[in-house]
Chain A
Amino acid sequence: MLLIQTNAIADALNSSEWVFPIAECFHIAAFAWSIGLIALVDFRLLGVGLKGESASQVAKATAPWTLLGLAVVLLSGPVLFLSDPRMYLHNPSFRFKIGALLIAIIFNYTIHRKVALSDGSSKALQAAVGVVSLALWVSVVFGGLFIAFA
């Protein structure tokens, strides 16, 4: 039953050759937007970039815009996935990407958020959180691209 349904969605998505590329453009532009804004917080935690502002100022200012970008990413992603669910589910890069994405999102809205908003954390902790965040999001992007190669 589930397979029939997903096939119906896949057929609808595949009925026009433009649905997939357009969804992909939204996906890429929105992840550049949202990950890029998170990276600004990471860079600030590492002591570079927007040094005139505190980490909490950067985090607070970017938060609503980051969420907007993530919403577009998380809406366009399933459109891509549903075009061929079976291929994606069996693709090791896709599995890696989803795992990294879940960890990145949880990290972003727990530890990352807490450390960025409290400017009192030690420099070492701030730097460590910035590096982990950057590494997680870069892994998500690499995993996403390698879906097409593995």
Chain B
Amino acid sequence: MILEFFRWVQSTDFMTFIRESGLTYPVIMSTHLACIAIFGGMIVITDLRLLGAILTERPIADVVNGLRWWKRLGFVIMASMGIMLAGSKAVDYYPNPYFWTKMSLLAVIAIHALIFRPMVYNHPEELDRTPLIPTRAKAAGALSLILWTGVVCAGRLIGYYEPPGQKGHVVSVDTTK
């Protein structure tokens, strides 16, 4: 079922174009990575502020509200690039355990948002009213940092999966040099 869907995605004209035109794929991948670099800091500073480790003399609300829409924009660009990268090679991605690890972590991040948006992110002004940062805010920040780091690592490791029978096609180490 899923494999059939992946096969169909990969066979569309758009995904075939991405896969077959030489420079398009690495440019999309670089953009994906550059977005991680450009927008990753927004997640880092929000989480560090929730943990009380950065900009402590400034309100939490300033940081959370100031970056909310920029983080969403970054996510949309990153996810679009990601869908193109995975979609154009969907059949290769299907058996890749790191791909599914990454998707699972993203699903956990969605659950994180469902839980912590109403409790933390949607009402940052409440967090500034108490002298100590509430535990729920610190938990949200710490979990977010761990989950996003996991997504980045799992994403990179996708490139290292060797399907059975194709050993050594990615990390070919020639020790005779």
Question: Are B41 and A38 interface neighbours, CB within 8 A?
Answer: yes
Which among B33, B42, B171 is the interface contact of A141 at CB below 8 angstroms? B33
Question: Are B38 and A28 interface neighbours, CB within 8 A?
Answer: no
Which A residue's beta carbon lies closest to that of B31?
A: A142
Which B residue's beta carbon lies closest to that of A38?
A: B41
Name A94-150 residues within 8 Å CB distance of B: 134, 137-138, 141-142, 144-146, 148-149
Determine if B156 is an interface residue (Cβ-Cβ < 8 Å): yes
Question: Are A28 and B30 interface neighbours, CB within 8 A?
Answer: no
Given A7-B177, A25-B157, A28-B152: A39 and B171 interface contact (C-beta under 8 Å): no
Interface size class of A (residues with CB under 8 A): 35 or more
Question: Are A142 and B34 interface neighbours, CB within 8 A?
Answer: yes
Cβ contacts under 8 Å, A24 to chain B: 156
Given A29-B152, A51-B66, A137-B37: A36 and B58 interface contact (C-beta under 8 Å): no
Docked Cα-Cα span, A17 to B162, in Å, equals 12
Determine if B29 is an interface residue (Cβ-Cβ < 8 Å): yes
Docked Cα-Cα span, A144 to B29, in Å, equals 11
Cβ contacts under 8 Å, A83 to chain B: 173
Rounded to whole Å, the gap between the CB of A110 and the closest CB of chain B is 21
Cβ contacts under 8 Å, A65 to chain B: 44, 48, 54
Which among B38, B66, B153 is the interface contact of A138 at CB below 8 angstroms? B38
Question: Are B42 and A40 interface neighbours, CB within 8 A?
Answer: yes
Question: Are B59 and A62 interface neighbours, CB within 8 A?
Answer: no
Interface size class of B (residues with CB under 8 A): 35 or more
Rounded to whole Å, the gap between the CB of A97 and the closest CB of chain B is 11
Cβ contacts under 8 Å, B177 to chain A: 7, 10, 84, 86
A11-42: CB near B (< 8 Å → 1, else 0) gives: 10010010011001100110111011111100
B57-75: CB near A (< 8 Å → 1, else 0) gives: 0110011011100100000
Which A residue's beta carbon lies closest to that of B55?
A: A61
Determine if A74 is an interface residue (Cβ-Cβ < 8 Å): no
Cβ contacts under 8 Å, B41 to chain A: 32-33, 35-40, 62
Determine if A89 is an interface residue (Cβ-Cβ < 8 Å): no
Besides A61-B54, A146-B26, 13 other A-B contacts (C-beta < 8 A): A10-B177, A20-B171, A25-B157, A29-B152, A32-B36, A32-B40, A36-B36, A40-B45, A50-B66, A52-B66, A53-B55, A138-B38, A145-B30
Which chain B residues have a beta carbon within 8 Å of chain A's beta carbons?
Answer: 26, 29-30, 33-34, 36-45, 48, 54-55, 58-59, 62-63, 65-67, 70, 149, 152-153, 156-157, 160, 171, 173, 175, 177
